[in-house]
A = this chain, B = another copy of it.
Amino acid sequence: MGATTNEGLEIAKKSREIVREKIKDFINNFNEKEVEIVERVVHATADVEFAKLLVFKNNPIYEGVKAISEKKPIVVDINMVKAGVRYDKVICPIDFKESYVLAKREGITRGKASMRVAKKYIDDGIVVIGNSPTALLEVIRMVKDNEVKPRLVIGVPVGFVKAEESKKELLKLDIPLITCLGPKGGTPVAVAIINGLIAKARGGVV
């Protein structure tokens, strides 16, 4: 999982075995491909609770891997997420000049503004939100208003304000999605999920 040297691979392998043992009571809630993603998230966070919190809806792994194989863009909410994703078409619109201008003009968060700015990439693309609940809520609104039709939304914002609510709203959509219940989430969760799908797409396994 990112390791490229003998010592690194050894640590990753041992960690994976420990994670597998720790989450064994929860794996019946998931199919085989989902379990792999759950393992990656628990590996990345050392937080077993994610095995209880993660939710997969509408065959998101198959759909995500397919979209990645077709080289669709991946739109992310913040630069920390971008830095972690191993893919060459990652769009992080939060620093686009248009996002600053729109946020200031409308008095909204830059995260929210950035999703509106990235509309053409979100339509038929993949969205990965690890932090900004207002960005996720904006994507949800655009889906509801038929402005975009993303191939997959990974929405795992973190925090005690709006994060949980935004994920509940996401779950109501009838599109391929991956999320987690409650206030937990964040950059490592988002990155572990999307890198898991990218690894699958590269391995040719769907």
Contacts and interface: CB of A to CB of B under 8 A. Distances in A.
A14 interface: yes
Copies in the complex: 2
Given A83-B83, A109-B11, A5 B187 contact: no
Given A15-B159, A15-B161, A186-B188, A7 B134 contact: yes
Interface stretch (A61-69, A100-108, A141-149): A100-108
- Classify chain A: how many residues form its interface, as a range: 35 or more
A31 interface: no
20 contacts: A3-B109, A7-B108, A11-B109, A11-B133, A11-B134, A15-B160, A43-B159, A44-B186, A45-B186, A46-B160, A46-B184, A46-B185, A46-B186, A47-B184, A80-B84, A83-B83, A158-B188, A186-B188, A187-B187, A187-B188
Interface of A: 3-8, 11, 14-15, 18-19, 22, 43-47, 78-80, 82-84, 103-104, 107-112, 133-134, 158-163, 182-188, 191
